[in-house]
Structure 1
Amino acid sequence: MARRIPAYGIRAPNSCILAENVLRNAAEPDEELRFVLSPGAEEGMDAVAEKFGYTLEVGRSGDAVEARMVPNGRTMQEVDVTGDTCPGPAITVGNLLSSLPVGERLKVNCKNRSSLDDIARAVKSTGSRVVGEGTNGERHYLIAEKAERPAEGVVVANRDAVVIVQSNGIGNAERAYATFLFSKVALSMGKKVIVFLLMDGASIAKRGATMGVKHPAFERLDRLMDEAIGAGAAIYVCEISAQFRGIGESDLVPGVKIAGAATYLDLVSNPAHAVVNF
């Protein structure tokens, strides 16, 4: 269990004196403590942590500094989701996080960077947060921290982003063209554009597949797609749909990324996103 101690505005060395008093009177011997401090007030906290048998981790928390003290010898729970098929990794991590106390952390390892991106979205959508990520050799990892889900309430949001879901692919040239023509219009309006290629729409993601698709009044479809990507549109292709069609990362149009079910659900459920289906 982690205890959060607000101490913003207290300067060093008084912040260290406060930390010593808290540690000396800690209710639980293995309790994790988090001091929310003003920048610079963490000075000297490393010596305090060492004195009481804790390890100090310092990070940012908005405008404040978070000094996290973890009892020596305490290990973080880890899980490796390499080889799991979407949406398995997001489900595994979600179940593990739900079983942890608030404030506990989970390290997720995977060889596939796109799977971790999908997991990160799933973590954030629950109100928890990703507090670290990196690589270790050929493997990627992220560290998720369990948090309380935000209280329900009325959400007021400006729809500054458009999510275009394409599920037909090059088999329906009119809908395929509409996907990127609408993208072009939305970008010209200053909106963020995200295209998600789902089911047969995954065929658009394969390099060279759209070169033979040409509308008499417009550029070839592949050029229209490249133009949208160059203008800032984010293009995702569903991992499962791509696998069904034998499309791997090396087969993708440059700029297209593989994403999982958690990414799709996060995008279409965000109240700041207008969703268009083709």
Structure 2
Amino acid sequence: MDRTLVIKATAGHDDPERCNQAFTVAAAAVASGVQVSLWLTGEASWFAVPGRAAEFSLPHAAPLPDLLESVLAAGSITVCTQCAARRELTQADLIDGVRIAGAPTFVEEITRDGAQALVY
């Protein structure tokens, strides 16, 4: 059975260590060959906008743009529908390859056989 790791990042600049943890775990899982679906919610939604990840900095942490790129290259990244709407973000505002989807899609992903969900 294939395992899928579904990670929900709920923090951004407002809680940099929690934010970084979500991206680091997602990138490490991708590097390990695990199928990863990274969900950006709340303030983390902004990192789906081109250039926004480059504004994030945390001492002793890998650059967020590098982590984001590695997850996008081998996994999937989704911005929460409501979170995007609250920030007036549309699909056209996002990095190529990032999608917008809602709670039904999240529930579908986390309830599949072999799925493990983590929320940061």
Q: What TM-score do you get using the length of structure 2 for normalisation?
A: 0.87
**Any unmatched runs of 5+ in structure 1?**
1-157
Residue 176 of structure 1: how far off its partner (Å)? 1.7
CA displacement, residues 125-178 of structure 1 (integer Å, 9 cap, x when unaligned): xxxxxxxxxxxxxxxxxxxxxxxxxxxxxxxxx461100011122321112211
Match of 2:117 in 1: 275
Contact 1:240/1:260 (8 A) holds in 2:
yes
Q: Which one of 89, 98, 102 corresponds to residue 256 of structure 1?
A: 98
Aligned amino acid, residue 264 of structure 1 = F
Residue 216 of structure 1: how far off its partner (Å)? 2.6
Distance 1:162 1:273 in 2: 6
Q: What TM-score do you get using the length of structure 1 for normalisation?
A: 0.40
Within the alignment, does 1:161 sit opposite 2:21 as a pair?
no
Within the alignment, does 1:204 sit opposite 2:50 as a pair?
no
Within the alignment, does 1:173 sit opposite 2:45 as a pair?
no
Aligned amino acid, residue 263 of structure 1 = T
Residue 250 of structure 1: how far off its partner (Å)? 1.6
Of structures 1 and 2, the one with the larger relative CO (CA 8 A, separation 6+) is 2
The SS at the match of 1:265 is helix
Alignment of 1:62-101 (within 5 A): none
- Between Structure 1 and Structure 2, which shows a larger proportion of strand residues? 1
Q: What is the root-mean-square deviation in Å for CA atoms of aligned residues?
A: 1.7
- Between Structure 1 and Structure 2, which shows a larger proportion of helix residues? 2
Aligned length: 120
Distance 1:178 1:196 in 2: 13
Aligned amino acid, residue 218 of structure 1 = A
Q: Which one of 2, 22, 37 corresponds to residue 194 of structure 1?
A: 37
Contact 2:9/2:44 (8 A) holds in 1:
yes
Within the alignment, does 1:224 sit opposite 2:67 as a pair?
yes
Larger radius of gyration: 1
Contact 2:27/2:68 (8 A) holds in 1:
no
Match of 1:240 in 2: 82
Q: Which moved more, 1:238-247 or 1:252-261?
A: 252-261
Contact 1:170/1:210 (8 A) holds in 2:
no
Residue 262 of structure 1: how far off its partner (Å)? 1.5
The SS at the match of 1:237 is strand
Q: Which moved more, 1:200-209 or 1:234-243?
A: 200-209
**Any unmatched runs of 5+ in structure 2?**
none
